[in-house]
Amino acid sequence: MNIHEYQTKELLRGYGVAVPDGRVTHNVDNAVAIAEDLGGERGVVKAQIHAGGRGKGGGVKVAESLDEVRQFTDEMIGMQLVTPQTGEEGRLVQRVLVEQACDIKKEYYLGLVIDRATQRITVIASASGGMNIEEVAKTDPDRVIREAVDPAIGLAGFQCRKIAAKIGLRGQQISEAAKLMQALYKCFREKDALLAEINPLAELGDGKLMALDAKMSFDSNAMYRRPTITELRDFDEEDSKEVEATGHGLNYIALDGNVGCIVNGAGLAMATMDSISFHGGKPANFLDVGGGASPEKVGNAFRIVLQDPNVKIILVNIFAGINRCDWIAEGLVQAMRDQDISVPIVVRLAGTNVEKGAPILEASGFPFIMADNLDDASTKVMASLEASA
């Protein structure tokens, strides 16, 4: 689960991390009032969407006057901001963060992740701030410092000082950076984060350190115990079909092809998409109905997949372990009765109660295209698409 930059900064400010003065608004007059309030003529206007790379699409601008604050805010609010992470349709900007502009001397990178290699929370730091850290790791790996944290000890002071010294901080900055890292770690632990990134961490003209941009994402599996983070969720930033699917206990991700997929299990769902691609087709979605798929759940899966107007055919691939093929079959028949489904449906059933599932589909009289295995299913999908083209 992701949150906005302004929310991350408020959260971190509460832990004692230095962030620029600023406030969020969805209104132009307010933006000017905030800039005035902050006292300076110069201000930064930052579009608040979850995707990164905002600067490249015109979503981050330094205003030299209150007029410019007004102008930039007016331009940003309501725009479809396109960044390298949003896709070409962009993301609607509903609010901007207006901040005091800072006098930046140097930029660093500081992040916390759960590193798969060490299976621990790991600090990542670099003297190359303001850039994509994955790029730095590729082109200049020596400039990326990593330090894994022992969960029984926590992030120790000496580790922080070591990291600070390695990225070239000096004097007072070393203890300042150590304090900042420990605050970030505390927040990461207490809020069940998966990622916390300060990029850039700026060294200001007076030598002080400040988090100019900050991003955090959280473990959705732990949000049951983090109500204050759950409140920060912004549904406008998420695909409405994906939100609806989650509500029904389904895992759905929209893609850009035309073959709708309804599968059980994340691995098999991916392999089904891969099989379609292998046969020259393009999946329209990832959809995992999960374990214990009731007829009702199958019906909801159809509704969600068919909301995508690009879907020309649906492939249902079920390998029942904890599921039961007869329930899935009943769900399929029910969906055909209840919903206006005009696209062809290819069905492959295997596993628990498969011998009861197939006769239910047959007896229904609906024109399901039955497949024996994964390869057969993808072949039939492609043949059907070709026949109707």
Catalytic sites, residue numbers: 109, 197
Residue 227 interacts with another protein (CB under 8 A): yes or no: no
Q: Is residue 139 a contact residue for another protein (CB under 8 A)?
A: no
Residue choice 39, 170, 224, 340 for contact with another protein (CB under 8 A): 224
> Which region, judged by CB under 8 A, interacts with another protein, from 30-38, 154-162, 320-328, 339-347?
320-328
By CB under 8 A, residue 369 contacts another protein: no
264 is a site residue for another protein (CB under 8 A): yes
Please name the residues in contact with 14: beta carbons below 8 A apart, sequence gap of 6 or more.
none
Binding to another protein in span 148-207, by CB under 8 A: 150-152, 189, 192, 194
| SS3 readout for 148-203 | ECCCCCCCCHHHHHHHHHHCCCCCHHHHHHHHHHHHHHHHHHHCCEEEEEEEEEEE
Check: CB of residue 59 under 8 Å from CB of residue 34: no
Shortest distance, position 143 Cβ to another protein, whole Å: 17
Q: Which is nearer to another protein, 260 or 265 (CB)?
A: 265
Closer residue to another protein (CB): 189 or 356: 189
Residues between 72 and 111 that touch another protein (CB under 8 A):
85
Q: Is residue 141 close enough to count as binding another protein by CB under 8 A?
A: no
Burial profile 289-320: b = 16 or more Cβ within 10 angstroms, e = fewer: bbeebbbebbbbbbbbbbebeebbbbbbbbbb
Distance (Å, whole) CA 168 – CA 129: 12
Of 227 and 267, CB closest to another protein: 267
- Closest to another protein by CB, 218 vs 302, is 218
- Decide: is 273 part of the binding site for another protein (CB under 8 A): yes
- Residue 362 found at the interface with another protein (CB under 8 A): no
- How many angstroms separate the CA atoms of 104 and 98, rounded? 17
Output DSSP code: residue 27. S
Q: What are 248's two structure tokens?
A: 């029904």
**Rounded least distance, CB 90 to another protein, Å:** 16
Three-state secondary structure call for residue 214: strand
Single residue of 104, 131, 183, 255 touching another protein by CB under 8 A: 255
The number of residues making up the chain comes to 389
Angle between helices 157-166 and 172-190 (to 10 degrees): 120
Residue 302 contacts residue 370 (beta carbons within 8 Å): no
Nearer to another protein, 25 or 86 (CB): 86
Residues in the site for another protein, rule: CB under 8 A? 85, 114, 116-117, 119-121, 134, 150-152, 189, 192, 194, 219, 221-222, 224-225, 251, 253, 255, 263-278, 282-283, 286, 288, 291, 319-322, 350-352, 373-375, 378
